Chain A
C-alpha cells in the first residue's frame, strides 16, 4: 500500500531514527497546538504586548511562578525539536549532496545553541532586587 499524500512528509519505511522523528514531529506538534497557541493567546489577547517589559516577564505574572518557567521550558524543547526537524525536512527536499549535509549540520548547531540560550534564560533569570 502506497499511502502517499502531499499533506505531510510520507511516513518513512523500515523504522529506525527517521520513523521515530516522523512520530515525534506529530507528537510535538500536538503538544505545541496547545502550548504555542495558549502562549500566543496569553501574550497577545490576555495581556497587550506593550506591558510585557523585562520586569513584567520576571515578575509574578510570568517567571516569578515556577509553573510558568516549567511550561515555557517544555514549550521551548518542543518548538526547537519540531521547528528544526521541520526545516531539516525542507532542506532535505531542496538541497543535495555536500550542501544538504552542511545545511543540516548548521541547523543542528543552531538548534543546540538556541536550546541552550533559551534554557539558560528560562531557568536562571531573576527579577532584580529592588
Chain B
C-alpha cells in the first residue's frame, strides 16, 4: 500500500528527531539515576550537583532535556496513532505540524519558567 510509505522529507526528519531526542533523554536518565543515588550515598555531593543543575548553564541544559522529552512524547503519540490506525498515515505531515504547535505552545512558557531565574536572580 503505497500511501503507507514515505521516504525523505517530513517523515524522515520526524523519525531522525525522534531517534536523536530519544538517545539524548536516555543519556540524561543514566545521569539522573546516578545523581539520585547520591541522595543516599553522599547527600552533600548531591546538593553540589543540584547547584550545577540550578546554575544558568544547568537551566539551559534542563530546557534542552525538556524540549527533547516533549518532542519525543508528542511524536511518540503520533507514531502510536499511525501504528494502530494506519489510515491516519495519510495525514502524517499534518499530525507532525500539530505536534510542533503543541510543542511551542507548551515549550515556550515552560522554557521561560525554567530560564527566568537566570536574569531575575530569584532562587
Rounded to whole angstroms, the CA-CA distance of A37 and B34 in the bound complex is 20
A-B contact count, CB below 8 Å? 136
With an 8 A cutoff between CB atoms, is A29 at the interface? yes
With a cutoff of 8 Å between Cβ atoms, the chain B residues found around residue A54 in the complex are: 39, 43, 46-47
User: A interface, how many residues as a size bin?
Assistant: 35 or more
Let me know if A52 and B83 touch, CB within 8 A.
no
Q: How many B residues touch A, CB cutoff 8 Å?
A: 54
With a cutoff of 8 Å between Cβ atoms, the chain B residues found around residue A4 in the complex are: 4-5
Let me know if B22 and A48 touch, CB within 8 A.
no
What DSSP secondary structure best describes chain B's contact surface? Answer: helix
What DSSP secondary structure best describes chain A's contact surface? Answer: helix
Let me know if A121 and B117 touch, CB within 8 A.
no
A interface residues, Cβ below 8 angstroms from B: 1-8, 11, 26, 29-30, 32-33, 36-37, 40-41, 44-45, 48-55, 57-58, 76, 79-80, 83-84, 86-87, 90, 110, 114, 117-118, 120-122, 124-125
Across chains A and B, which 8 residue pairs bring their CB atoms closest together, nearest first? A50-B54, A54-B43, A8-B79, A50-B123, A83-B26, A6-B15, A125-B40, A7-B79
